Amino acid sequence: MNTKEFNHALETLKYPNLDRTLGELKLISSAKVSSGSASVELSTLSDESYLTVKTAIMDAFGSTFTRLDITKKAHVQKDTNYGNTATPNNRAPYAKNVIAVTSGKGGVGKSTVSVNLAIALAQMGYAVGLLDADVYGPNIPRLTNTDLEKITWNDDNKIVPSENYGLKIMSVALTTPTSDTPLVWRSSVAVSALIQFLEDVAWGELDFMVIDMPPGTGDIQLTMAQELPITAGVLVTTPQLVASDDVSRAIRMFQDIHVPMAGLVENMSYFVAPDTGNRYDIFGSGGGQRLSERYNIPLLGQIPLDMEIREGSDNGEPPVVLGSELQKSYYQDIVKKMMEVIEFNI
């Protein structure tokens, strides 16, 4: 096999578990054959990708040559021009409005709220994208019944978002080999991945981009506020005192970085026993109302702890689509109130 034949064979070799070749992904920087030995230089950014491609090439051509050397091309780090919260960049000019949904702590139902609010907007006839920015706990694919899908690319080398329930959806969970693959990333890598999802996904023209943020007040929240002109923030809490304490910090963060707040959603607000109709305040009561009054932001709605909502969400069947009229109204009414609070560009 000569150099030309080897280059062609490399270009047509499939990347493991993807329907794309190394040539299509532009991963071969150079390849050369000389005196029965071969050398390959890979143009990969991550060590994980380098090892994956190296293994695939060794498996395919290791016995073809007396020696096969595979190295990784040194990349000069690109200088990223980050914005700031006072004058943010706009890495999503295709989106007329950006809504950031966040919480102070995990486990309050933030992703469920994000999905159902996004769908409620789509039900009103708007073009809506849903970006899963919770890179360490990406639940959006499961909640939207897209968890078995994997990313593909179009002819312009843009990532094609998944689609369901009238939404265009992108999540890092769609890029991993298995659903339980952990993303052991430093925050700088996570931030770079999200910026790529903003810039390198074929979103099309959107009326709304809904971003499911990670819980807390860290790098990703700050970067999104620096790289996008966020139209409105929605904060999700439960009535529990611990959740209220944590969401207070998220409110202060939004205030400090000058993000307009549409208001609060109190999730798991109460439980109505299906057999007796009695109401139980399992996580306490009044937490959302106290936060609303303390920080002078609207309480957009209270969503009860409902077994059918939980079961439907686990099955990728959002209640705003497939629930009862009452369950649909929880989210649709929140969107209507949000529209009254924020002057969106529509």
pLDDT of the residue at 75: 54
C-alpha–C-alpha distance, residues 343 and 232, integer Å: 9
CB 168 within 8 A of CB 205: no
Q: How far apart are the first and last CA of the chain?
A: 60
Q: Which helix (H) or strand (E) is 209 found in, with range?
A: strand 206-212
Alpha-carbon gap, residue 120 to 337, rounded angstroms: 12
pLDDT in tens, the chain (346 residues): 899 999 999 999 998 887 788 888 888 999 999 999 999 999 876 777 889 999 999 999 999 999 999 998 875 444 456 677 777 889 999 999 999 999 988 889 999 999 999 999 999 999 999 999 998 889 999 999 999 888 888 888 889 999 999 999 999 988 887 777 777 778 778 888 899 899 999 999 999 999 999 888 778 888 888 899 999 999 999 988 888 888 899 899 888 888 899 999 999 999 999 889 899 999 888 888 999 999 999 999 999 999 999 999 999 999 999 999 999 999 999 999 999 999 998 8
**Nearest to 312, CA basis, from 115, 107, 106, 99:** 115
Q: Which fold has domain 95-341?
A: Rossmann fold (3.40.50)
Q: Which amino acid is at 98?
A: V
The pLDDT of residue 78 is 45
What is d(CA 281, CA 132) in angstroms, rounded to the nearest whole number?
A: 30
Query: Residue 16: its pLDDT value, please?
Result: 87
What's residue 20's pLDDT? 82
Question: Is residue 160 classed as helix, strand or coil in its secondary structure?
Answer: strand
**Within 10 Å of residue 12's Cβ, how many Cβ atoms?**
11
State how far the Cα of 166 lies from the Cα of 20, in Å rounded to an integer: 27
**Greatest distance between any 2 Cα atoms in the chain:** 84
CA distances from 320 to 21, 128, 298 (A): 40, 15, 22
Residue 339 has φ and ψ, to the nearest 5°, of: -65, -30
The single-letter code of the amino acid at 343 is E
- Which residues fall within 8 angstroms of residue 313, CB to CB, at 6 or more apart? 112, 115, 143, 319
| pLDDT confidence of residue 79 | 44
The rounded distance, in Å, linking the Cα atoms of 137 and 183 is 9
For residue 215, the number of C-alpha atoms closer than 13 Å in the C-beta half-sphere is 18
Cβ-based burial of 188 (10 A; exposed 0-12, middle 13-18, buried ≥19): exposed
Ordered by start, the domain boundaries in the chain are 3-72, 95-341
Place of tokens 């996904």: 201
